[in-house]
Amino acid sequence: MPRKIIAVDLDDTLNDFSATLRGIDFAPDHASALSDETFESYMHRIRSNAPEPTDLLSTDYSYLRYRVHEQCYRQARARRDAIAFMQWLRHDGWQIVICTYRDLRRANTCTREWLGINGIPFDHLFMARNKIVFCKLWGIEHLVDDDEFNIVHGSRYGVKVFYPISERHIAMAPNEATGFTSFEDVTRWIQK
């Protein structure tokens, strides 16, 4: 019997991270050195997922971004169909690898707490910048992820990618990944 192993992303796949980020009310910390104008500018950049403006590893921007993201990690709502899917995977004997872009050096505890609170089972929790390479190295044939790079390039490397369809996927390059609106679809597809 073939080994059943699957990698699943967290943010905007199992939860509503982007919606939470857009709606979060994060007040400036007046003990910090940021002016209100700089704080608002940084919050705008964080909400639009702007990259770090410098190569430095630690800046005021990166620190604020981490604090905001950590709050979102805790507050993001899990998709009900995602919880049911993950529980079905466990019941059906799948090995579950949560594979995320989150910096788990900082967010490991809050991520594990969120998974536990939401009843989401998993065997392994990893941070991976290139999930396709990660899946190839682990021998994982199935990846559930919303990232365009993984969606577009996964099949070229033998990784079958399933992604929750969202507005940002409209202008995506042609690909062989399979979009879904409900995790029930993924359940049917991987049972085959």
Q: What is the pLDDT of residue 30?
A: 61
- Look at phi and psi of residue 131 and say left if phi exceeds 0, alpha if psi is from -120 to 50, else beta: alpha
The answer to whether the beta carbons of residues 34 and 42 sit under 8 Å apart is yes
> H helices of 101-182, where?
104-117, 131-138, 148-153
Can you give the pLDDT at residue 52?
A: 74
Residue 147: other Cβ atoms inside 10 A: 19
pLDDT number for residue 81: 97
Radius of gyration of the chain (CA): 18
CA–CA distance, 88 with 104 (Å, rounded to integer): 26
Q: Round to the nearest angstrom and report the end-to-end CA distance of the chain.
A: 14
**Residue 51: its pLDDT value, please?**
77
Give the mean pLDDT per block of 10 residues along the chain (192 residues).
Answer: 86 96 83 82 89 76 89 96 98 97 92 98 96 96 96 94 90 89 96 78
Domains of the chain: residue spans and CATH: 5-16+77-191 (3.40.50.1000), 18-75 (no CATH)
Tokens describing residue 106? 């900082």
Residue 155 near residue 130, CB atoms below 8 Å: no
